[in-house]
Structure 1
Amino acid sequence: MNKTPPLVWGLLVAGVLGVSSAGAILSHVDSIPPLMRASWRLQITVLMLLPFAIWQYREMDLVTRSRLTEKKTLLIILGSGVALAAHFGTWVTSLDHTSLAHSLLFVTSHPIIIVIGTALLVRRPHKLETIGALIGLFGAAITLLDAKNDGNVTLWGDMLAFAGAVTVVGYIVAGRILREWMPVFVYAVPVTFIGGILLIPISILMGEETSALGWIESD
């Protein structure tokens, strides 16, 4: 079994830090329309992950490489990219309509959705899974109570953030299927690329007037 290089662990740590601070950063870039802002974020992520995807691809054997071009694999990657675009599009838009705390609370509620989906479609959830989901729902309900008292919070914004949690489930499920044999960066790069590209025409159709690659020229 090949040992994971320290460089990969370093990138994963950097990725965790980037994700944990993304909400705060994106909420302060008010001059950029939300959908294009989300696209830029995914474009930058692709460039950061690409060298590691190339390295992992070169380490793959020929049999595994051949699976990358199978129709089933390509369809799952496409579906995952669509889900990721929907996730970032709704979540980043929610930052313009609700508080950062509310947005992060609802967009990270996907474990609750997974438990409910598991109960409906797969199996009866474990006791601890049920308890965790109930606690999450209770916390979300309490948070909604202050929507009328906080001028920065709107029900629409909270709903957008929750939609981000719902759509990211598709990305997670696709990842679980493909990650059984596909290296993480080889999976992440095409999915993230698709997500970033899909947001560009949607942003234009929504009337957002910003360059698709404007982050390159931004000061």
Structure 2
Amino acid sequence: MRGIQGRDRTLAIGSGIFLALHFATWISSLEFTTVVSSVVLVSTAPLWVALLSPITIKEPLTKSILIGLGMAFIGVVIVGVSDVCLFKDGKLLCPSFNEFIRGEAFVGDLLALVGAWMAAGYLLIGRRLRVGISLVPYIFVVYGVAAIVLTILMFASGETAFGYPPQTYLWLILLALVPQIMGHSSFNWALGYLSAAFVSLTLLGEPIGSAVLAFILLDEMPTVLKIFGAILILAGIYVASRGEAKAAEPQV
């Protein structure tokens, strides 16, 4: 950590913890809800970045951001109920509130949403630090801390890293090399030059790609409610992010 000193070191460690909790909650959500619901909800991270920007990087909320937040909140509610409600004979049928909060899909959706909050913290700290810290020292600390925290959580939950088929380890290695080393490092590189809102906008490709892959590989067909909620969330994130982009443009 010689390249990162004082308060910056503490923040980098915090960023690693946020990243670890993001993965822990998001990946855990897939045990309880569908891929589409999980990815759509975790992709609300750009909205939380915009909401927290006035506090962390002193950027005021614009009208576009407020509209986008409202649209996305409605979409989140729709996606949340889509796993337990259905259309039948032109009517929307849902279980009672007590039955709803006990459902596994609700737990999964909530975990995915918490994952979005953790991702927002990770991105905001990254934006704060990457302006003055080069990429390699930053990701060395963040990824290292995240790996340690996730290892602790794995053993605390009674899981083990051994005894799986060779193909499983191949997929795990690919996950580390492609989404993490290449994907997240690209995000962290961009945070040194672009605002967190701009960088988080690129997360919008995840729900679309995941929905397509889930349909092809897992035969997960999204419901009408889920599609409608997902469209609202994506539209809200787009509106909010465009507002951030316009606010960042120099005034002529």
> If the TM-score is normalised by the length of the shorter chain, which range does it land in?
0.5 to 0.7
Structure 1 residues 180-195: aligned runs within 5 Å: 180-195=131-146
Q: Compared with structure 1, are the counterparts of its residues 200 and 180 closer, same or farther at alpha carbon in structure 2 (3 Å cutoff)?
A: same
Length, aligned pairs only: 153
Give the match for residue 27 of structure 2.
92
Give the match for residue 130 of structure 1.
66
Counterparts of 2:160 and 2:22 in 1: how far apart (Å)?
21
Kept in 1: contact 2:54–2:61 (CA 8 A): yes
- Give the CA deviation at 1:72: 1.5
Instruction: Report Cα offsets for 1:96-126 as digits up to 9, x if no partner.
Output: 1110000001111112223333467856510
Counterparts of 2:22 and 2:157 in 1: how far apart (Å)?
17
**What one-letter code is carried by the residue in structure 1 that aligns with 2:47?**
I
Q: Which runs of 4+ in 1 moved over 6 A?
A: 212-217
Of 30, 42, 49, which residue of structure 2 is paired with 1:114? Answer: 49
Give the match for residue 172 of structure 1.
123
- Give the CA deviation at 1:149: 4.1
Instruction: Report Cα offsets for 1:157-211 as digits up to 9, x if no partner.
Output: 0000000011112211111111112223432232112101211111111111333
The residue matched to 1:182 in structure 2 has which SS? Answer: coil
Kept in 2: contact 1:91–1:164 (CA 8 A): yes
**What one-letter code is carried by the residue in structure 1 that aligns with 2:66?**
T
TM-score, normalised on structure 2?
A: 0.53
Q: Percent identity?
A: 25
Give the match for residue 147 of structure 1.
83
The answer to whether residue 21 in structure 2 is matched with residue 81 in structure 1 is no
Give the match for residue 109 of structure 2.
158
**What one-letter code is carried by the residue in structure 2 that aligns with 1:204?**
F
Structure 2 unaligned regions, length at least 5: 87-102, 171-252
After superposing the two structures, state which structure 1 stretch, 110-119 or 77-86, moved more: 110-119
Kept in 1: contact 2:49–2:121 (CA 8 A): no
TM-score, normalised on structure 1?
A: 0.61
Give the match for residue 151 of structure 2.
200
After superposing the two structures, state which structure 1 stretch, 131-140 or 116-125, moved more: 116-125
The residue matched to 2:127 in structure 1 has which SS? Answer: helix
Instruction: Report Cα offsets for 1:49-70 as digits up to 9, x if no partner.
Output: xxxxxxxxxxxxxxxx97x241
Q: Compared with structure 1, are the counterparts of its residues 119 and 214 closer, same or farther at alpha carbon in structure 2 (3 Å cutoff)?
A: farther
For the aligned residue pairs, the C-alpha RMSD in angstroms reads 3.0
Counterparts of 1:214 and 1:197 in 2: how far apart (Å)?
23
Q: Compared with structure 1, are the counterparts of its residues 174 and 123 closer, same or farther at alpha carbon in structure 2 (3 Å cutoff)?
A: closer
Q: Compared with structure 1, are the counterparts of its residues 167 and 217 closer, same or farther at alpha carbon in structure 2 (3 Å cutoff)?
A: closer
Q: Compared with structure 1, are the counterparts of its residues 184 and 132 closer, same or farther at alpha carbon in structure 2 (3 Å cutoff)?
A: farther
Kept in 2: contact 1:95–1:103 (CA 8 A): yes
Kept in 2: contact 1:73–1:178 (CA 8 A): yes
The residue matched to 1:154 in structure 2 has which SS? Answer: helix
